[in-house]
Amino acid sequence: MTTADIKDIFLHAVAAVHPQELMRKNVQVQPASRVITISGDDYAIPEGAHVWVMGAGKAAAAMAQELEKILLPHFPLQGTVITKYGHALPLQQLSLLEAGHPVPDQNSVAASVKLLAIAGQVQPQDLVIFLLSGGASALLADVPAGSQLPEVQQLFEALLKSGADIREMNVVRKHLSAIKGGQLAKSIYPATLCTLILSDVVGDDLSVIGSGPTVPDPSTFADTMAVLRKYHLPEKISAPLLQHIENGMTGQLPETPKPGDHHFAQVHNYLAGTNRIALEAAAGKARELGYHPLLLSDTTTGDAHTVAATLIQTALNYRGPLPACLLAGGETTVTITGTGLGGRNQQLALAAGIALASHPTLTFLSGGTDGSDGPTNAAGAIVDASTMQNARNMQLDANSFLQNNDAWHFFSKAGGLMITGPTQTNVMDLMIVLITADTPKI
C-alpha cells in the first residue's frame, strides 16, 4: 500500500507542474483589444505585427502545444521549439525539432542555427514568446570555430561525470555558445521578448536555467576556466576548446551580455513552474491519503549518498504525528567512478535503501519530475526493507552495485524501478519518505 501511495504522491506532484496547468495560469488573451496577458502583464499586438514562438527544453513541446490552444484562435503563430528525443507532441502551426540530451548532437547544433535565424527575422513591433525548460543547455549547442562536435560532446560528458553542479556546468556551456547566456535576447532586440520558464535549478536562478538564453549572464570566461580547473578537466578536453576559452579570457572574444546591457530593455522573464509548486501538490495529496506531510526543503543539493543518509536519519528521528510523509526537492550530484548504469535518483534511492534495510516502517522514493534519470528508462526508484530483502534473497550485494554506479541493474533485479515515460515537464527531483509507524531512535 505504501508503495502505491508514494508513487501516487509523486505523480500528483508532477501533474501540478505540467504545462497544461501552468500555461493556462500564465497566459490569457483579450481578443477584442488584441492583448496577450502573460503572468499578469499585458502586451498589445499592433495590427500587422507578428507573434513568434520559440522554445527549448524537455517541456518545450508540451508548453508549445498548450500555448497554441490558447493563442491560435486569435493570433497566427510562427516559430520553432526544440525538445528531447521521445518528447515530441503534435503542433498545429509551430515547427518542432528533436535533439540530443544530455549530450548534444548534430540536431542540437542545427537547432541553435534555426533559432538564431528566426531571431533575425523578428521585427521591432513583434512579440516573441520563448518557452524555456530544463534540458535546453544540451538541446541548443554550438561548435566554436576551430573545434568539432565530438570535442564538444566529450566536454559535456566530462562535465556530467565530474560532480559539477548545474550552475558550474552551465557557466562552461554558456561560454561555448552563440545563443546561451543572454545571446538569444541580444539577437531578438529591439522586439519585445517574454520568456516563460520552468525551473530545474535549485534557487530558481534564471541565469542558470537552460543556460539562460534570454537572461543577462554574470559569469565570464575566467569563471569558465575556474570550473574546468576545479574538476581537473583542462587535460581532458581538446586544445581548440581550451584555446576558445583562453581567447575569451584575453578579450579576443566578446563576453556574454551582462546585467544592465541595453539589449535586455524589452525582455521580460517569468518563472511559471518550480519545484516548490510540485512539493506543495505532493503535500496536498499526502494529506488526502491520510499522511501528515512535512516539507523539509526545496533546495536539496549535495552528494547523493550524503543526502540519502541525511533523509533516512531525519525519518528515524521523526517524532511527529503518524503516518507521516517527509518531502524534499532539489538536485543531487554523483561523481561517476564505476561502469554501471543509473542516474542520480536511482543512486540516491539505493543509498537510502542500504540505510533503511532494517527499518520496515520506511518507504523511500527519489525521482526526476521529467520522467528520466540519467541515460536510463526510469524516472527513479522506490525502495523499502522488502526491496532490500529481495536483493539479499537473490544474493545481490547492494554496496557493490552502489560503488559501481549500477543502481539501474540493482533495481531491475530486486524491484523498485519507477518508469513513468516522458512527463513533459521538468522541475528537478522529488524525494519522499513515508513513515507508517514509530521507529526506534538510533
Furthest CA-CA distance within the chain:
71
pLDDT, position 57: 96
Q: In the structure grid, which three cell numbers stand for residue 227, read together?
A: 570550473
430 CB contacts (<8 Å, ≥6 apart)?
Answer: 10, 13, 14, 275, 278, 279, 282, 327, 328, 329, 365, 366, 367, 369
pLDDT, position 439: 47
With respect to CATH, is domain 275-435 assigned 3.40.50.150? Answer: no
Distance CA 202, CA 98 (A): 26
CATH of domain 18-142+177-219+256-273: 3.40.50.10180
123 CB contacts (<8 Å, ≥6 apart)?
Answer: 49, 50, 191
Give the SS3 label for residue 86: coil
Distance CA 79, CA 360 (A): 53
Same fold flag, 18-142+177-219+256-273 and 275-435:
no
How far lies 78's CA from each of 51, 126, 239, in Å?
7, 11, 40
Domain boundaries, the chain: 18-142+177-219+256-273, 275-435
Those residues of the chain that have pLDDT short of 70 are: 438-442
Name the amino acid, one letter, at 359: H
Please give the mean pLDDT across all residues of the chain: 96
pLDDT, position 438: 55
CA angle 80, 104, 403 (to 5 degrees): 135
Tell me the whole-structure pTM to 2 decimals: 0.91
H helix runs in 104-165, sequence order = 106-119, 136-139, 149-162
Residue 104, preceding peptide bond in cis (omega within 30° of 0) = no
Rounded to the nearest 5°, which phi and psi values hold at 365? -135, 140
Distance CA 108, CA 88 (A): 15
For residue range 208-224, list pLDDT tens digits in order: 999 999 999 999 999 99
Residue 258, class by beta-carbon neighbours within 10 Å (0-12 exposed, 13-18 middle, 19+ buried)?
Answer: middle
Give the SS3 label for residue 436: coil
For residue range 37-78, list pLDDT tens digits in order: 999 999 999 999 999 999 999 999 999 999 999 999 999 999
Query: Which residues are bridge partners to 55 per DSSP?
Result: 81, 131
8 CB contacts (<8 Å, ≥6 apart)?
Answer: 285, 289
Exposure letters 93-111 (e unless 16+ CB within 10 A, then b): ebebbbbbbbbbbebbbeb
How far lies 411's CA from each of 197, 381, 420, in Å?
33, 7, 15
Distance CA 364, CA 353 (A): 8
Whether 146 and 219 have beta carbons less than 8 Å apart is answered as: no
